[in-house]
Structure 1
Amino acid sequence: MNVVHPEFRPDPESSRDEMEAIQRDIAATARFGDDHGFDVAAVGAPSLDAFDGSDDSTASAGPLVAGVDQAFLDERVVSAIVVLRGDEVVERTYAVSPLTFPYIPGLLSFREGGPILDAFETLDATPDVVLFDGSGRIHFRQAGLATHMGVALDVPALGVAKSLLCGEPVADTDRLDAGESVAIRANDRMDAPPGTVVGHAVQTRQFDSYRINPVYVSPGHRVSAATARDVVLACRGGYKLPEPTRRADAYADEVKAEVSGS
């Protein structure tokens, strides 16, 4: 898969001011509305191969949904991509890249984005939508990892973060049941107009015996906040993380073990 906008490939040698200016350019380029060709209702549905063709011959194959995650090894990072159609793994690929930039809140894509693009350049499939382990529009300059990568690849993308970087929930998120969500609105820590819905707290899994926190889902590129939420809900499995990123996380750990043992 090609990088469509190489001018947005993260450059860790840039100054902080330059990085923040690039993020604002990325946010201005990003489309936070629906501009994709997949059927959201078909996300997570069984693939065509699951049918014998007798009663469901008119069923069409669902969209390709990719999950991306990373595992860290010394001064290197494993960037893993798993592409699913329903519950079928269509392709897995990875890249091992050097880490040349420290973790700085708000500039995550300049640490992890280049290695992720290295992995995408080894990918044969063209996903209909990509789920990234990180924020999209829920970001100080509306250009989190999912936005940066989505724009660079010009692919429908969304972010699934474990913590809320900025923005404010419109209601309490502590007692959500599985499948429920709460909108996240922009606040004065963000470039987005105050009150703009920039994502959702999404409760993918819940337990009676103890409560777990939601994930924070936001559009990266070419999907709306509502569609990003609906895609994640459609990709729910038996765990907190949606299946595409959960499987990418497991694959990254698998590759890390192989690389560290070689």
Structure 2
Amino acid sequence: MTPPPPPRPDLAPDAHLERAEMEAMQREIAAAAVFEDDFSFDPATLGNPLGTASSGTETPLVAGVDQSFLTNEAGDQDRALSAVVAMRGGEVIERVHAVTSLEIPYVPGLLAFREGGPILAALEELSCDPDLLLFDGSGRIHFRQAGIATHVGVVLDVPSVGVAKSLLCGEPRGDTENLSPGTHVPIEANSRVDADEGTLLGYAVQTRQYDSPDRSINPLYVSPGHRVGPETAADAAAALATTYKLPEPVRLADSYADEAKREYTR
């Protein structure tokens, strides 16, 4: 069965564009993105393992997205393996992956043009329809406010959140060292971002921390991708992180990507 065309196929990542064209497309994507809550599910149910809220609302279906890479005989990365794990109320509903060729090298700020096509191919394999997509990557915390979570979210018109392990750009409004679990530190735009300085881009979110003065866990950098506000994005990442630092859908997608990769490298 052929999936329906995405709502914005004109903005799908195209690795054959020139760099200036890619950057122009990202600005168009940022203009099309909705960086506020615009969804039908109850976000309070995201961390509810029982599946429903007191209102009777069903827990939303959340899909985590991550990637691994395959190498050729010369040792060069030539294919991306995109993995998607869909979960509801702590239960895995579906796992899919897709392998596609890589057409351009990694360029900071243009990740979606390298990995967006493979991710879209994997999402087309899903038989379920996620209410929320979580990406191992940036959303609005991006030079042109259009990280991979924003790019894919806008193309598919699906609520999306970026969960990055490092800060691509922007400036924390406070210290991000050795934070207590549950702490959210706002990340605002600075001169490296295509936005008014001080614009709230997302949050540094501390999901887990060691109970030791000698070592610490860095926060996650969480930002809205599309149709999710910054506060809800941060709360969702925190609610979906169970016993590990990463939100469970993303963590399981990372694990599944490694598992699937082994099938291709035997």
Please tell me the TM-score bracket, short chain as reference. Answer: over 0.9
The CA deviation at 1:59 is: 4.2
Aligned counterpart in structure 2 of residue 73 of structure 1, from 70, 73, 93: 70
Which residue of structure 2 aligns with residue 37 of structure 1? Answer: 40
The letter of the residue matching 2:262 is A
Cα deviation, residue 97, structure 1:
0.6
The equivalent residue for 1:206 is 209
Q: Give 2:263's aligned residue.
A: 258
- Pick the aligned partner of 1:230 from 235, 239, 249: 235
Match of 1:106 in 2: 109
Find out whether 1:17 has 2:28 as its counterpart.
no
Letter in 2 for 1:104: V
* TM alignment of 1:146-165, pairs within 5 A: 146-165=149-168
Q: Which residue of 2 aligns with 1:187?
A: 190
Matches for 1:51-200 after TM superposition, within 5 Å: 59-74=56-71, 75-200=78-203
Give me the whole-angstrom Cα distance separating, in 2, the residues matched to 1:8 and 1:188.
26
Q: Which runs of 5+ in 1 are unaligned?
A: none
* Sequence identity (%): 59
CA contact (8 A) 2:42 2:57 kept: no
Does the 8 Å CA contact 1:71/1:79 hold for their aligned counterparts? yes
Provide the C-alpha distance between the structure 2 equivalents of 1:58 and 1:83, rounded to a whole number of angstroms. Answer: 23
**Contact 1:44–1:85 (CA under 8 A) maintained in structure 2:** no
CA distance in 1, matches of 2:58, 2:203: 28
* SS of residue matched to 1:166: coil
| 1:12-34 deviations in Å (ceiling 9; x for gaps) | 11000000000000000000011
Does structure 1 conserve the Cα–Cα contact (< 8 Å) formed by 2:178 and 2:209? no
SS of 1:193's equivalent in the other structure is coil
- Structure 1 residue 61: Cα displacement: 2.5
- What SS class does the counterpart of residue 101 from structure 1 fall into? coil
How far, CA to CA, are the matches of 1:195 and 1:6 in structure 2? 32
CA distance in 2, matches of 1:63, 1:166: 30
Aligned residue-pair number = 255
Which of the residues 237, 240, 244 maps onto 1:239? Answer: 244
TM-score scaled by length of structure 2 = 0.93
CA contact (8 A) 2:172 2:186 kept: yes
Mapped to 2, the partners of 1:232 and 1:16 lie a distance apart of 32
State the Cα distance separating 1:171 from its structure 2 match: 0.4
The C-alpha deviation readout for 1:19-75, integer Å capped at 9, x for no partner, is 000000000000001111111100021244xx9xxxx99744311111000011111
Structure 1 residue 135, shift from structure 2 partner: 0.4
Give me the whole-angstrom Cα distance separating, in 2, the residues matched to 1:212 and 1:148.
Answer: 29
Paired with 2:116 and 2:11, the residues of 1 have a C-alpha distance of: 10
CA distance in 1, matches of 2:54, 2:66: 35
What's the secondary structure of 2:119's corresponding residue?
A: helix
Q: CA deviation at 1:170?
A: 0.4
Aligned to 1:120, the other structure's residue is in SS state helix
SS of equivalent to 1:111: helix
3-state SS of the aligned residue for 1:218?
Answer: strand
Q: Is the 8 A contact 2:206 2:219 kept in 1?
A: yes
1:84 is paired with a residue whose SS is strand
State the Cα deviation string for residues 108-146 of structure 1 (Å, max 9, x = none).
Answer: 000000000001111111111110010000001000000
What is the distance in 2 between the residues matched to 1:92 and 1:60? 24
Secondary structure of the residue that 1:89 maps to in structure 2? strand
Contact residue 185 and residue 199 of structure 1 kept, 8 A: yes
Inter-partner Cα distance in structure 1 for 2:139 and 2:39: 16
Q: CA RMSD in A?
A: 1.5
